[in-house]
Structure 1
């Protein structure tokens, strides 16, 4: 498994002094980016080939949120290719090697000139050495939403929401969803299903719904009421209120 070490920074903490969920997601995303760059398959390589990996699904399971200053190891490994889809695990451990969090992700490879999905080139498949799937409970990539959801404050898309692909970064979707919650307890699992790309100048409207089983679902819709992303949060204890 490709990995790197880091320390939890003050800027990454929530008000309780623990790592924020969205910061954990950023650690995982950075890890896969570092691996791709080190393999010569990074941003510049993809741009030359008119390719881009687009996130289709996140599942993050948290065992414990680390505290300020803790040294952590972040790792990632691809475990399968199916057509234009790539499957990748993530793992964060503490100094003792105990699991703090793990994740499953599904990515789609697109041709930026046509917007169509394409199969990963052979050299890419060779460099991304596949490893066994991480031992975790794998959730469905499809998230159901209800018609009876509560509309929240609209969010205009600003330059800070974008990444090098000039679209809203997958982590920013999650941050917008978190901000739409009035309050929340400690999240033990996140699922995010990405359905439509969003660009500068668009406006997202979050719609929220509290469900049974300590879950809250957030649907992020564009100006035409099309669903762009669905995020599901599951708490450790009480429901999100």
Structure 2
């Protein structure tokens, strides 16, 4: 298990003084990147190999949002490699060791030269190692597209949306979805989310969002002008989580 110790920064909180959902996701992403860098298979290595780990899906469950200045620990570890897929868990804890959020993610290893998925080498897999999956209820990586959703204003991809792979950063899609719902009167009281990434948007692309709210679930489609999705974001409002997902799962230190 890889662990990053930090405190909740002012740049990570909303006007209520608590960490935002994108702030939690960024902490998870950063932990996985730091592990790869420390293992010698980070951004420079991948660039030289013309490879990239591309996120296919998120499932994030929130028990509570840490407050400004709180000490937090973000833990991550791979749980399996199968074909060109890699599975990775995340857990965020407070200074008392209580879990505040946890997540599952599925990644695809891409050959950037061919533009196709490829298997990671045995040597690459051995560097990461594997541990047991986190005890949570695992949802499908497929997120249903909203039918008959409300269309909203297009979003142009800006430079600040782009990551080191020259694509829109994974968390930026979540940020767009959260802001879209807030602008349409929704409270950001999310207890969890799922995201399915379909294709990568790049600088200059135009995203055409639509959203639908049903049974406490807000689903946001971020697609192209023809409705083909870049990402589908499903946000679960408080009160909709079941006993299994809502329980305070524990993990050994």
Distance (Å, rounded) in 2 between the aligned partners of 1:224 and 1:17:
39
- In structure 2, the partner of 1:28 is 28
Distance (Å, rounded) in 2 between the aligned partners of 1:147 and 1:63:
29
> Are the counterparts in 2 of residues 185 and 237 from structure 1 also a CA contact under 8 Å?
no
Pairing 1:35-74 to 2, within 5 Å after superposition: 35-74=35-74
Instruction: Give the alignment partner of residue 189 of structure 2, picking from 186, 190, 193.
Output: 186
TM-score by length of 1: 0.96
Instruction: Give the alignment partner of residue 233 of structure 2, picking from 225, 231, 234.
Output: 231
Q: Which runs of 5+ in 1 are unaligned?
A: none
> Are the counterparts in 2 of residues 205 and 221 from structure 1 also a CA contact under 8 Å?
yes
> Are the counterparts in 1 of residues 63 and 101 from structure 2 also a CA contact under 8 Å?
yes
Distance (Å, rounded) in 1 between the aligned partners of 2:208 and 2:74:
33
Q: What is the CA RMSD across the aligned residues, in angstroms?
A: 1.0
Q: Number of residues paired by the alignment?
A: 237
Cα deviation code 1:6-27 (max 9, x no counterpart): 0001121112111000000000
- In structure 1, the partner of 2:175 is 175
Shift of 1:185: 4.1
Matched, 1:97 2:100: no
TM-score by length of 2: 0.92
- In structure 1, the partner of 2:202 is 199
Cα deviation code 1:20-62 (max 9, x no counterpart): 0000000000000000000000000001111001000001001
Distance (Å, rounded) in 2 between the aligned partners of 1:185 and 1:84:
35
Shift of 1:206: 1.1
Deviation >6 Å, runs of 4+: none
**Alignment partner of 2:34: what SS?**
helix
Cα deviation code 1:92-135 (max 9, x no counterpart): 00111010000000000000111000001111110011000001
**Alignment partner of 1:180: what SS?**
helix
